[in-house]
Structure formats: structure tokens, C-alpha cells
């Protein structure tokens, strides 16, 4: 149950959310993405109240404007790595192999585009999920522990990539993480507890 959670993220800003396991961080991101609907309260993105949108409208909105790095990746097992990364473009009716290849290179998977997800390590799957979340240049990037499966060097690379993409595209980013080091790149760090969401000490 998420209660007493109220926050604003200015367009183009990066906010990190810390909090203990089970406190509701993933639930919060799902609400912001419009994947879940709140029992009470209001969520607005770029002035649009998600509560007034139909499920179809929400799906369209998400496809165009949101990039989501799921905690459990949700890489589709029957598509190649490149097809997974290109999926948000395909869903928007775009074919852009050069963009897909650039994203694969950016996450260090330039030579793995033709691999199947089952042939990838956990960290490689995570990097695939990150490339997929950013490939269509979403205005809002929601990243749920995007470095949870990565070694320190890869984690550093992925966080830098997130930061650069967000900056270059003028995107807004909410980053859920257990890592204080990762959170440190954000403009603002919030901590979610059972008492609600508050500024980090």
C-alpha cells in the first residue's frame, strides 16, 4: 500500500528513489507509467491526468513517450536481442536499424544483436532492457533498479548512459535504485518508507 506519496519532477530532471525492499518502489513506477491505476490520488504527466485517460489512450501514450526498464527485464524470449531493442520503434511504426545498432553499441552489445535472450547473461539482459527503454527517445524514462545485475564497471556505464540519454534528449527520469552511488547522479534523491516519500537526508 502506497500512501502519503506526493512529488513533482520538473521536465528534464532526474530523480532517484531509494527505499527498502517491499516498500513499494516498483508499485510507484507502475503507477507513474499508467500500468496500474491508483485507488485514490492523482498522477499527471506533462499536464495530462492519467486518471482521465482510457486504457487505450494510456497504452498509446506509454508507447510514444515512456521508456520503462523493468526490474525483471521482460525481454521477450522468442525475439532476438536486436528485435527486442527495436520493439518500441516497431510499435510506433518505425524501422530504424541504425538507431537499434547505436543503442546496442551504447550498452556494449554491438555484436549480440542476433543472439537470443536465453544466450545472454543476467547483466546482458539488463543492458538489452536499457537499450530498449531508450531507443525511441522517450520523454519520460522510468528505470527500476537498472543496475541490479551489473558489476561496478557496467553499472557505472549504464548509469552514465541513462544520464547522457536523459540530458541529450531533454528527457525526465525517475530512477529506482538501491545504490547510493547511482542515486548520486540524480538532481534530487527521495527515500520511500512506510511513512511516505521524503527528501533524502
Ligand X SMILES: Nc1ncnc2c1ncn2[C@@H]1O[C@H](COP(=O)(O)OP(=O)(O)OP(=O)(O)O)[C@@H](O)[C@H]1O
Which residues contact Mg ion by CB under 5 A? 25-26, 71
Between 26 and 48, name the residue whose CB sits nearer to ligand X. 26
Print the binding letters for residues 51-90 with ligand X: x by CB under 6 A, - otherwise: --------------------x-------------------
* Cα–Cα distance, 158 to 162 (Å, whole number): 6
> Within 10 A of 195 (CB to CB), how many other CB atoms are there?
9
Q: Closest separation between CB of residue 25 and ligand X, Å?
A: 4
Least Cβ distance, residue 30 to ligand X (angstroms): 8
Q: Quote the distance between the C-alpha of residue 96 and its chain's center.
A: 21
Q: Does 149 bind ligand X (CB under 6 A)?
A: no
**Binding region for ligand X (CB under 6 A) out of 22-30, 52-60, 163-171, 193-201:** 22-30
Q: Is the dihedral of CA 32, 139, 128, 186 positive or negative?
A: negative
Smallest gap, in angstroms, from Cβ of residue 144 to Mg ion? 6
Q: Which stretch binds ligand X (CB under 6 A): 18-26, 57-65, 113-121, 181-189?
A: 18-26
d(CA 147, CA 126): 8
Q: Side by side, which strands form the sheet with 66-69?
A: 66-69, 140-144, 172-176, 14-19, 188-193, 196-199
Widest CA span in the chain: 47
Closest CB to ligand X among 22 and 77? 22
CA distance 65 to 26: 19
The reply on whether position 35 binds ligand X by CB under 6 A is no
Is residue 115 a contact point for ligand X (CB under 6 A)?
Answer: no
Report the interface residues with ligand X, using CB under 6 A.
19, 21-27, 71
Amino acid at each position: 500500500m502506497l500512501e502519503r506519496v506526493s512529488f513533482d519532477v520538473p521536465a528534464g530532471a532526474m530523480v532517484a528513489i531509494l527505499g527498502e525492499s517491499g516498500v513499494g518502489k516498483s508499485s510507484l513506477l507502475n503507477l507513474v507509467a499508467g500500468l496500474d491505476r491508483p485507488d485514490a490520488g492523482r498522477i499527471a504527466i506533462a499536464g495530462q491526468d492519467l486518471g482521465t485517460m482510457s486504457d487505450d489512450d494510456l497504452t498509446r501514450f506509454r508507447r510514444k513517450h515512456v521508456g520503462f526498464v523493468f526490474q525483471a527485464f521482460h525481454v521477450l524470449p522468442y525475439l532476438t536481442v536486436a528485435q527486442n531493442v527495436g520493439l518500441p520503434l516497431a510499435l510506433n511504426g518505425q524501422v530504424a536499424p541504425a538507431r537499434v545498432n547505436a543503442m546496442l553499441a551504447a550498452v556494449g552489445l554491438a555484436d549480440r544483436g542476433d543472439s537470443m535472450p536465453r544466450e545472454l547473461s543476467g547483466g546482458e539482459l539488463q543492458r538489452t532492457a536499457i537499450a530498449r527503454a531508450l531507443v525511441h527517445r522517450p520523454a519520460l524514462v522510468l528505470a527500476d533498479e537498472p543496475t541490479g545485475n551489473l558489476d561496478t564497471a557496467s553499472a557505472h556505464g549504464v548509469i552514465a548512459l541513462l544520464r547522457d540519454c536523459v540530458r541529450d534528449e531533454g528527457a525526465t527520469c525517475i530512477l529506482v535504485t538501491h545504490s547510493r552511488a547511482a542515486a548520486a547522479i540524480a538532481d534530487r534523491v527521495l527515500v520511500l518508507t512506510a511513512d511516505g516519500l521524503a527528501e533524502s537526508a
